Amino acid sequence: MNIYSAEAYAFNPQEVELLTELTDSLSFGIVALRAEQALRESEQRYRLLAENINDLVCLHDRDRRYLYLSPSCKSLLGYDDDELIGKDPYILFHPDDRDRVAEEFRAAILGKNHISITYRINQKSGNYIWLETLTKPILDQAGNLIKIQTTSRDVT
């Protein structure tokens, strides 16, 4: 940002210093406002996507516990997300599917690659539905597992 005067040498050194500090502050404020606006727009796009997608998108800690469940959790499984946050999803899996899913899940995490798993999950109503879940490990820069992202869809 610059300040101009029609007169040559219109500002003394103290005024130049003050005006420089003022323009620096204004420039910083403008940049901060633009960043804030960009963040708001990004959050709006994310919210639009998260609230309108039919797939269940989840984030899990390294011990598989739910950290985040998309709003579709309610329509797909009947649970509010706060009923499942901190819980292991395996409590909802059909008993006949648990061992197989655990083995496939472990292979995905150890291999640090994406896999698709199909299994039955218990809805809040007590009914089982079939889900197909894509499991994706989230790694730090050193390649260590930090979180797990899953995306599931009803294939009943």
pLDDT in tens, 13-52: 888 888 888 888 888 889 889 989 988 888 887 776 666 6
Q: Tell me, yes or no, whether 39 and 58 share the same domain.
A: no
pLDDT higher than threshold 80 for residue 85: yes
Mean pLDDT of 46-59: 77
pLDDT higher than threshold 70 for residue 1: no
Q: Tell me, yes or no, whether 35 and 58 share the same domain.
A: no
Per-residue model confidence (pLDDT) at position 65 = 95
pLDDT in tens, 90-118: 999 999 999 999 888 888 777 766 788 99
Q: Tell me, yes or no, whether 87 and 143 share the same domain.
A: yes
Per-residue model confidence (pLDDT) at position 20 = 85
pLDDT class of 5 with cuts at 50, 70, 90: low
Quick check: pTM over 0.85?
no
Long-range contacts of 140-148 (CB under 8 A, 24+ apart): 143/112, 145/62, 145/109, 145/112, 146/62, 147/59, 147/60, 147/61, 147/62, 147/67, 148/59, 148/60, 148/61, 148/62, 148/64, 148/109
Q: Tell me, yes or no, whether 33 and 63 share the same domain.
A: no
Per-residue model confidence (pLDDT) at position 9 = 73
CA separation, residue 82 to residues 69, 79, 94, 126, 127 (Å): 9, 8, 22, 18, 20
Q: What is the CATH number of the domain that holds 141?
A: 3.30.450.20
Range(s) of the domain holding residue 71: 54-154
Q: Tell me, yes or no, whether 63 and 119 share the same domain.
A: yes
Q: Tell me, yes or no, whether 23 and 90 share the same domain.
A: no
φ, ψ of residue 18 to 5 degrees: the values are: -65, -45
Query: Domain tally for the chain?
Result: 2
